[in-house]
Chains A and B, each alone.
Chain A
Amino acid sequence: MAPSVHYHCPCLSNSTTPPPPHLPSSSYSFHPLHTLFFCEECDAVRCNRCVSVEVSTYYCPNCLFEVPSASVRAEKNRFYLFVHKMPCNVLTRRRCARNCFMCPNCRNTLSVVPSDPPESGDGRLAVPISTVGEPPFFLYCNHCRWDSAEVGITFEKPTGLAAQLQKFEDSAPDSLEFERLKDHFEPFIRASSLSSSTTSHAVAHPSSAAHSHHLHSNSITAAASAALARDIPGVGKYNPLARSTSSRGIGVSGRDRSVNKDEMAEYRSRVEIAKASVVGTGGGDADVEFMRHLENVSEVASLDQRWENSWVTSLQTSDLKPLRIPLHSKRSKRCPACTHILIKPEQKAQSVRYKIKLVAANYLPAITVALPHAQKALTEAAKRTLGKSTSAVEDDKTPATGMVAGKTYPFHLALTNPLYDPIQVRLSPQRLNISTAPSKDGPPEKARRPPFVISLPTSTFPIAAFAEAWEYDDDEDMFGVEEGDDFGIRGGAREKDGRSTRSKTVGVLEKRANVTIVGGEVVIGKEAQGNVKFNTLVSYTYRSDDPAPSESNDGDGPSIPQGNKPPEVKTFAFYTVIDLGPIIPREDSKSVPDV
C-alpha cells in the first residue's frame, strides 16, 4: 500500500490526544481528509462517525424517481418498523413502488420481457429490449438468466407490475403478520406519543427532527421491551437508546412502574411457528424432506439470497420471488455539538451539488507523503519498460520500494494550503513509547525501545496562500520535469533548518505556489517490525483579514484567537497519523526467536 496520511476526529471525546498508531482503535479515529467535515461554529473537525444525519430525499437507484420523505413515511412500509433502532437500515429498507425489481438470485435489476420467441441464429441478443410483444410478460435477469415465469409469476401487460405484484405480496404470510402486529401496537403508539414524557430519554439529541424520530422509535422499543419483559421473566426493560436505564432492569423484578405503564394486551401471532415448519418455512419436517431428496446444491437458496426476507422462507431456490429495489437517500449532516448544518445536498436526486458543504479540505492543509527511494525505483522501472505493456512492469518494480529494518530512509511531506491567507505550520511528531511488536517475554528495556525514530523539521515553516490562478487548468508546466531525481537533496541544501547535520534530508525542501514540501527521516531499528506509523500534531497559524475578531467565522477558516498575540492571528491544531508502510525484517534478524 502507498504511504498515507489520515486526519484525527476526536468525535466529541474529551481527550485531545488520539490513540497510539499501532492500536486497532487508531483506524477508527483517523480518516482520509476528503471524508471529513468542518464546523465553523465549534471550530472543529467532524467525521461521518459523529455527525448526525437526516434524510432529505429518497430515490430509487434504478428508475431514479424521487420519493419525498413524507410520502415514504405515509406509505405502509411493511416490516421495517422494528429495525428502527438502526436508522441506516431503515433508509435502505424503503422500496421502489414502481416497476423496479431485483433478481432474487444475483441482485441484478430485472427487465420486463414478452413471451416472444427469442431471436436465434446470430447469437447476439437472446432477449429483445423494449419490444412491445406478446403477453404474458415476465421479469428476466440478463445476468444470471433467472426469470419470474420459473416461479409462476407472469404479467398480462408490461406496465404497472408493482400493482400487479402487490396482490402476491399482500397475501404473503410476513405481510399479513406485520399488518396484525401493526394493528396490535398502533393504539399503544398513539397513546404514548400523546403524552410528552413517555420514555426516559437519556440521549440528549439537540436536533428537533432527530428528537421526534427518537421519540417515535422509543415508543416502539418500549412496547417491544415491555412485551419482552412480560414474556421472559427476569429480563428487564431493554432500551438501547438509554443505557443508564437498562442497567436497573436486569435482575430487578418486572413489576417496575414503567413496565406497568407500558403494559398491553398479549399478542397472538397469525400463524403458530410450530405449525409453520410443517409447510416448509423455518426448518421443520418439510425442510428435512426437501434436503433428503436434494440432487443439486443449487436447489437450496443461499443465505445471501434469503437474507432480504424478514420472515422464515422456503429453502428452495425455486421459491425465490422478485425483490423490490430498496430506495437510496440523500442526507444532510449536522454538527453533533452545535447542530449547525455541515452538509445539505440539493433536492434533485441525481444532482451532485450541495447547498451547504463544509468540508475539512477547505480549512485544513492537505498533506501527502512520499518515499523518494520508492518513487525513484518506480520511475526507473517505468523507464526501463517504456512502451511495454503494463503487466510486464508490475513484476520487477516491487523489491526496491520497501523499507528494511536497520536502515535510514528519507520521506517527503507535501502540505497544500487551501486558505486565501498564507499559513505558518509546525509539525510535532508524537513520541512513540511502545514497541510495535509488544512482547511479554522479551526483556522490558528492549520492548520499550522505539522501533524507529522520526526526524521532522522542528521550526515553523510557511505555506503560501491559495490563489485560483494556481489551479492546474492551463498551467501544465508547473510539474517541473527538470526537477529530476535529485530534487529532494538539492532543495534541502538550499534551506537550512538549524539542524546542520541533517540539512540534506530534514527541513523545508521546496516551495511552489501554495505547496511546501518538507523532508523527514526515519531511522529504523534493527529488530523493528510492523509499520512505520506515527502520530503527528500539525498546528498552523494564519493572519485573518477580518478586522473584527468577534465576527471571525465567515468562511475563511478555523479560528482560535490566541491570548498573547494580536487578535487577527489564529491557530488551529489537529492530529494526523502518517503511515510510511511496512518494515521488511532483515535477513539476519530471522535467527532471533520470534514472538
Chain B
Amino acid sequence: MEPPIIYSKAEFIETDTGNKVSRRATIAGPQNIILGGKTIISSGAIIRGDLRRTGPGHAVVISLGRYCLVGEGCVMRPPYKTYRGNFNYYPMKIGDHVHIGANSVVEAATIGNHVEIGKNCVIGKFTIIKDCAKIADNTIVPPNTVIPALALFSGSPGRFVEDLPESTQEMVEAQTKQYYTRFQPSER
C-alpha cells in the first residue's frame, strides 16, 4: 500500500547479504563494523568503526543486526570512558529491526531488537536500550540511561512517557521489513 522509497541506484552499494550502504555515508574503520544483512546506511551517515579499544588485533566496534536503518546524517560513535586512569572506547551492539531517524547521534552501549529511535535524538554514552523501546523525535537521552523494554521515552532529558502496546514487536518487525522492501533503486 505504501509507495516505494526511491533512491538513486548509483548512490548505494548493495552487499551480498542485502545491506545497502550509501556512497555518501562515511564508514570509518569498516573492518570493525558488522552489518547483519538488509540493513540500510543512508547518505550523510557517519559510522566510527575506527574508534576502537587500544591493543593489538582487530575488534568489533559497531555491530548492527538485520533490517536496521541508520538515517540520513546520523552519527554512530562507540562510547568511551576513563577507567582506572585509562581512556578507552567500548563496543556498541545493536540488534535486529532497529531504525534510527535522521540526524540522531548514538553513543549507546547496547540497543536491543525492535527499537525505534526518532529524528534529531542524542543517545548518550553507555545508554542501554532494551527490546521494543521507542525514543520519540528530538529526545535527549543522558549518558548511562537505561531504557526498559516496551517503554516510550521523550523529552530532554528523555523521560518515560508510557508503556507501548503488546503488539509492538510485530508492528516494528513489519514496518522495518516493509521499509526495506519499499527502498527501491530508481531506473535511472
CB nearest to B44 among chain A residues: A389
Closest to A61 in B: B148
A109 contacts across to B, CB distance below 8 A: 142, 144-146
Contact A142 B144 (CB under 8 A): yes
Q: Closest B-chain residue to A485, C-beta based?
A: B3
Are B81's CB and A125's CB within 8 A? yes
Interchain CB contact under 8 A, B143 and A386: no
> Which of A142, A378, A515 is in CB contact (< 8 Å) with B143?
A142
Contact B184 A361 (CB under 8 A): no
A121 to B148 alpha-carbon distance, docked (Å): 35
Given A61-B151, A351-B149, A414-B1, check contact A119 B8 (CB 8 Å): no
CA gap between A328 and B133 in the complex, in Å: 14
CB distance from A45 to the nearest CB of B (A): 14
Contact present for A481 and B1 (CB under 8 Å): no
Asked if A570 is at the interface of the complex by the 8 Å CB criterion, the answer is no
Are B181 and A352 closer than 8 Å at their CB atoms? no
Q: Which of B28-36, B45-53, B55-63, B158-166 contacts A (4 or more CB under 8 A)?
A: B158-166
Smallest beta-carbon distance B26→chain A, Å: 15
Q: Specify which chain B residues have a CB less than 8 angstroms from the CB of A412 in the assembled complex.
A: 1
| Bound-complex Cα distance A35 to B165 (A) | 6
In the complex, what residue of chain B is closest to A106 when comparing beta carbons? B157
Taken together as a complex, chains A and B put the C-alpha atoms of A383 and B8 apart, in Å, by: 9
Tell whether A267 is near chain B: CB-to-CB under 8 Å: no
Q: Which of B3, B72, B150, B163 is within 8 Å of A389, CB to CB?
A: B72
**B174 → chain A, closest Cβ, in Å?**
8
Is A111 at the interface (CB under 8 A from chain B)? yes
> Which segment of A274-282, A471-479, A520-528, A559-567 sits at the interface?
A471-479
CB pair B149 A350 closer than 8 Å = yes
User: How far is B96's CA from A352's CA once the two chains are assembled, in angstroms?
Assistant: 14
Mostly, the B contact residues are loop
Is A578 on the interface with B (CB-CB < 8 A)?
no
Mask of A374-416 contacts with B, CB within 8 angstroms, 1/0: 0100110011001101100000000000000000000010100
Q: Which residues of B contact A131 (CB under 8 A)?
A: 82-84
CA distance A59 to B160 in the complex (A): 14
Is B165 a contact partner of A111 (Cβ separation < 8 A)? no
Distance (Å) between the CB of A478 and the closest chain B CB? 7
Q: Is the CB of B3 within 8 A of A473?
A: no
Q: Which size bracket describes the interface of A in this complex?
A: 35 or more
A517 at the interface (CB under 8 A from B): yes
A359 within 8 A of B: yes
For the complex formed, measure the closest distance between the CB of A237 and the CB atoms of chain B, giving whole angstroms: 35
Task: Give the contacting residue for A343; candidates B7, B156, B166; CB below 8 A.
Answer: B166
Least distance between A417 CB and chain B CB atoms (Å) = 14
Q: For chain B residues 1-49, which have a beta carbon within 8 Å of chain A?
A: 1-8, 11, 43-44
Whether B6 and A479, one on each chain, are in contact in the complex, defined by CB atoms closer than 8 angstroms, is: no
Q: Binary interface profile of B, 54-94, with partner A (CB < 8 Å = 1, else 0)?
A: 00000000000000000011000000111110010000000
Q: How far is the CA of A189 from the CA of B118 in the complex (A)?
A: 49
Nearest chain B residue, comparing its CB with the CB of A376: B3
A316-360 residues with Cβ-Cβ distance < 8 A to B are 328, 343, 345, 349-352, 354, 357, 359
- Residues facing A in B140-188 (CB within 8 A) are 140, 142-151, 156-157, 159-160, 163, 165-171, 177-178, 180-182, 184, 186
Chain B residues positioned under 8 Å from A144 (CB to CB)? 157
For window 60-119 of A, CB contacts with B under 8 Å fall at 61-64, 106-109, 111, 119
| A231-264, CB < 8 A from B | none
Chain B CB within 8 A of A34 CB:
yes
Q: Which residues of A contact B43 (CB under 8 A)?
A: 387
Q: Encode B81-115 as 1/0 by CB contact (under 8 A) with A.
A: 11110010000000000000010000000000010
B116 within 8 A of A: no
Q: How far is the CA of A207 from the CA of B185 in the complex (A)?
A: 56
Task: Tell me, yes or no, whether A130 is within 8 Å of chain B by CB.
Answer: yes
Kindly state whether residue B132 has any CB partner on chain A within 8 Å: yes
CA distance A368 to B150 in the complex (A): 24
- Which one of B2, B72, B166 contacts A354 once the chains associate, using CB atoms below 8 Å? B166
Q: Which among B8, B80, B142, B163 is the interface contact of A143 at CB below 8 angstroms?
A: B142
For chain B, residues 110 to 129, give those with C-beta under 8 angstroms from any C-beta of chain A.
114, 124, 126
Question: Is A438 part of the contact surface with B, judged by Cβ < 8 Å?
Answer: no
Query: Are the CB atoms of B177 and A64 closer together than 8 Å?
Result: no
**Cβ 8 A contact of B83, one of A130, A354, A359:** A130
**What residues on A are CB-neighbors of B130 within 8 Å?**
64, 350
Cβ-closest chain B residue relative to A378: B3
| Chain A residues whose CB sits within 8 angstroms of the CB of B7 once the complex forms | 386
Per-position contact with B for A159-178: 1 when CB-CB < 8 Å, else 0?
A: 00000000000000000000
Interface core residue of A131, A390, A473 (most chain B CB under 10 Å): A390
Are A386 and B146 touching (Cβ within 8 A)? no
Q: How far is the CB of A166 from chain B (nearest CB, A)?
A: 23
Given contacts A125-B81, A350-B149, A352-B131, 14 further A-B contacts (CB under 8 A): A34-B167, A61-B147, A106-B157, A107-B157, A108-B142, A129-B143, A131-B84, A343-B166, A352-B114, A359-B167, A370-B1, A389-B44, A389-B73, A481-B4
Closest 4 CB pairs of A and B: A143-B142, A414-B1, A108-B157, A143-B157
